[in-house]
Chains A and B, each alone.
Chain A
Amino acid sequence: MNRPKLYCWLCAVGLMIALILGMGATPAFSADKAEYRTVQVNNAKVHPKAKSLSKPLVRLPIRAKVEALGVTGKWTKIKTGPPRSVIGYIATKSLDPKKKGLFGDTSGASEQERSMAARGYNPKVEAKYRQNNPNLEAAFSRLAAIERDSVNKVDEAQAEAFLNAGGVTPRE
Chain B
Amino acid sequence: MRSIIRAKSLGIVLSIRPGGWSLLLLVGAAMGLGGCAGIKWNKDFTPKNKYYIGRSVSAQVLNQYKVYEDPQATRYVNLLGQTLAKFSDVPEPYKGYHFIILDSPEVNAFAAPGSFIFVSRGMLRICATEDELAAVLAHEIGHIQHEHGVKVIRKSRNWAGLVKIGKFIAQATTDSEIAELADKFGDDIGNAVGTMLRKGYGRSAEKEADSAGIEIMHRTGYDTNAVITMLKKMEKRVKPGSTGFGSTHPSPSVRIDAIKSLIKSPPAKANAARQARFDKALMAARQ
Contact = CB atoms under 8 A, between A and B. Distances in A.
B38 to A, nearest CB: 8
A103 B44 CA distance: 16
Nearest to A166: B274
Given A139-B60, A163-B83, A117 B18 contact: no
B194 interface: no
B162 to A, nearest CB: 5
B92 A45 contact: yes
B71 A112 contact: no
Majority SS at the chain A contact face: helix
Contacts of B1: 4
Contacts, number: 265
Nearest to A151: B75
B62 interface: yes
Nearest to B91: A91
B40 interface: yes
B83 A172 contact: no
A115 B75 CA distance: 37
10 contacts: A11-B22, A21-B28, A41-B94, A117-B184, A140-B55, A147-B98, A152-B75, A152-B99, A158-B79, A168-B274
Contacts of A140: 55, 59
Contact of A168 (B18, B33, B220): B220
A116 B167 contact: yes
A21 B59 contact: no
A163 B221 contact: yes
Contacts of B221: 163, 168-171
A41 B97 CA distance: 12
B42 A99 contact: yes
A15 B22 CA distance: 9
B43 A115 contact: yes
B48 A40 contact: yes
Chain A interface bracket (under 10, 10 to 19, 20 to 34, 35 or more): 35 or more
Residue from A12, A21, A110, A143 with most neighbouring chain B CB atoms (10 Å):
A143
Contacts of A99: 42
A166 B276 CA distance: 9
B120 interface: no
A14 B22 CA distance: 9
A135 to B, nearest CB: 7
Interface of A: 4-5, 7-8, 11-12, 14-15, 18-22, 24-26, 40-45, 52-53, 62, 74, 91-94, 96-97, 99-100, 103-106, 109-126, 128-129, 131-133, 135-136, 138-140, 142-143, 146-147, 151-154, 156, 158-159, 162-163, 165-172
A93 B79 contact: no
A7 B20 CA distance: 12
A156 B91 CA distance: 11
Given A113-B163, A156-B86, A167 B274 contact: yes
Contacts of B248: none
Interface in B47-86: 47-50, 52-53, 55-56, 58-63, 67, 71, 74-75, 78-80, 82-83, 86
B150 to A, nearest CB: 9
B5 A146 contact: no
A21 B32 CA distance: 5
B178 A11 contact: no
Given A41-B47, A125-B181, A117 B94 contact: no
A167 B182 contact: no
B86 A116 contact: no
Contact of A19 (B18, B32, B189): B32
A15 B24 contact: yes
Given A12-B21, A120-B184, A22 B94 contact: no
A113 B219 contact: no
B79 A154 contact: yes
Contacts of B179: 128
Contacts of A115: 40-44, 168
